[in-house]
Amino acid sequence: MQEIKQYIEDHKERLLNELFDLLRFPSVSADPKYKEAVIKTAEYTAEKLREAGADNVEVCPTEGYPIVYGEKIIDSSKPTVLVYGHYDVQPPEPLELWKTPPFEPTVRDGKIYARGACDDKGQFYMHVKAFELMMRTNSLPCNIKFMIEGEEEVGSNNLGIFVKENKERLKADVVLISDTSMLSMETPSLETGLRGLSYLEVEVVGPNRDLHSGVYGGAVANPATILAKMIASLHDENNHITIPGFYDDVAELSAEERQALNAAPYDEEEYKKDLDIAEVWGEKGYSTLERTGTRPTLEVNGIWSGYIGEGAKTVLPSKANAKISMRLVPNQTSDKITRLFTEHFTRIAPPYVKVKVTPHHGGEPVVTPTDSIAYQAAQKAITEAFGVPPIPTRGGGSIPIVALFEAELGIKTVLMGFGLDSDALHSPNEKYDIFNYYKGIETIPLFYKHYAELSK
């Protein structure tokens, strides 16, 4: 422990500067204009893995963005940890809301502000540096494999193929991921589940062209109004989702499980204050922690139609669009929910419009075990580094590859994230606390130590 702390202290500035260099690459996977930067980020990541001491480092091409692989096999009789992370980031827009530019990392008040600071560059880079630390201090007790991808934020489509084609190379005893949140640095936690996802786009088409809203208004249905009504009808007065069959497969938690989940610290007043909302909202009969952790949801991520420029234009739009996502919980599956949504949305369309539904991407929900030695190792590591044991929580976000690792490779995951929900992931002014970054680098080698010991 002392040796770990000393190493971090001795290399403090470099550890931070290297992360800053990584954050300067605008590796936005969703927008093709950043293509070159995304590829450079993969190369930088590979170089840093090599420098840290990894063998067989490779920037593996895919149909999309490359996957960076590297490994250190010290002894085939020792357990193997597969570290997964992603070097791609979400688009930074809206740019005008950033206090400092998204790809010029800036420290304010002990926090690093940049797109990807927390999700996931700041977090996966802790693993590269913790690995370096273990290599340089001669204390790596397990085999380690790194797989850092560049398409997580757009659905990891090519990663699935890579995993299927590289089963032997990816063989491991556990997957370790830092891409989730903790409750706070004072009350550390470990996420034990992630929601799945069905993401699709809908289009409601009315007249064959935009019309004068005075000449035709009143006689022709307005697709924007129709879309708004259709979307509004997807929740009932109890905020249940109205799609027939939507809840059929949902695993209900036992009274004990619900109680354990609700024991996590949650201050509703703080929650509302942080978001500047007067009331929380959600499915009747469930707490906020349950609503985000254990219940499926439906959200409109974007909606557009007609004239949205400066000033006023009188127009009855020809069509209206929305991007809709549903978060899924065990035992829902993304294919089935996408099908149920499509059938329902098509069925509720009134005769004045035509409806088109286009699926984007999906991912399956997961619950990770809390009785495994890997989970115990994470518990021990966090307890040692933070002084208090972690609280198990259920995360609301999605990391589709976790279910795939289990299905394809039969490997379970430990979600040892160090972010905070308040780190503004996917929002303007994303940040990551410098404290969390160093704390992560300190905790990770402890995980390896305990995992190796418990595996004996």
- Which residues contact Mn ion (rule: CB under 5 A)? 119-120, 179
Which CB sits closer to Mn ion, 296 or 397? 397
181 binds, among Mn ion, ligand BES, none (CB under 5 to 8 A by kind): ligand BES
Among 149, 173, 179, 430, binds ligand BES (CB under 6 A): 179
Cα 313 versus chain centre, distance: 39
Which CB sits closer to ligand BES, 190 or 411? 190
Q: Which stretch binds ligand BES (CB under 6 A): 100-108, 109-117, 143-151, 174-182?
A: 174-182
Here the tokens at position 127 are: 């693993």
Which CB sits closer to Mn ion, 193 or 206? 193
CB atoms inside a 10 Å sphere around CB 140: 22
The CA distance from 102 to 154, in Å, is 19
297 binds, among ligand BES, Mn ion, none (CB under 5 to 8 A by kind): none
CA nearest 142: which of 437, 442, 456? 456
CB atoms inside a 10 Å sphere around CB 406: 16
393 and 261 Cβ atoms separated by less than 8 Å: yes
- Smallest gap from residue 396 Cβ to ligand BES (A): 7
Among 92, 141, 397, 445, binds ligand BES (CB under 6 A): 397
For β-strands 106-108 and 55-60, DSSP reports them as unpaired
Which residue shows structure tokens 């699709």?
200
Which CB sits closer to ligand BES, 220 or 303? 303
Per-residue CA distances from 138 to 82, 133, 240, 443, 450 (Å):
19, 8, 55, 17, 16
The CA distance from 383 to 187, in Å, is 10
Instruction: Tell me which residue has its CB nearest to ligand BES.
Output: 397
Q: What is the DSSP string of 185-235?
A: SSS-EEE-EE-EEEEEEEEEE-SSS-EETTTTBTTB--HHHHHHHHHHTTB
- 180 three-class SS: coil
The CA distance from 315 to 212, in Å, is 5
Which CB sits closer to ligand BES, 143 or 393? 393
Which CB sits closer to ligand BES, 128 or 425? 425
φ/ψ (deg, to 5) at 169? -60, -35
Which CB sits closer to ligand BES, 70 or 363? 363
CA nearest 26: which of 40, 15, 16, 14? 40
φ/ψ (deg, to 5) at 32? -60, -20
Among 133, 320, 399, 424, binds ligand BES (CB under 6 A): 399
Q: Which stretch binds ligand BES (CB under 6 A): 10-18, 131-139, 177-185, 332-340?
A: 177-185
Q: Which stretch binds ligand BES (CB under 6 A): 14-22, 62-70, 104-112, 149-157?
A: 149-157
Point out which residues pair with 112 in neighbouring strands: 107, 432
Q: Which stretch binds ligand BES (CB under 6 A): 6-14, 179-187, 200-208, 288-296?
A: 179-187
Cα 248 versus chain centre, distance: 26
DSSP letter at 89 equals B
CB atoms inside a 10 Å sphere around CB 151: 24
Among 80, 143, 158, 181, binds ligand BES (CB under 6 A): 181
Q: Which of residues 193-212 bind ligand BES (CB under 6 A)?
A: 194, 197
Q: Which of residues 112-131 bind ligand BES (CB under 6 A)?
A: 119-120
Among 152, 430, 433, 442, binds ligand BES (CB under 6 A): 152
Here the tokens at position 448 are: 């390896």
Residue 423 binds ligand BES, judged by CB under 6 A: no
- Smallest gap from residue 119 Cβ to ligand BES (A): 5
Which CB sits closer to ligand BES, 332 or 398? 398
Which CB sits closer to Mn ion, 330 or 363? 363
Q: Rule CB under 6 A: which residues touch ligand BES?
A: 119-120, 152-153, 155, 179-181, 194, 197, 361, 363, 395, 397-400, 425
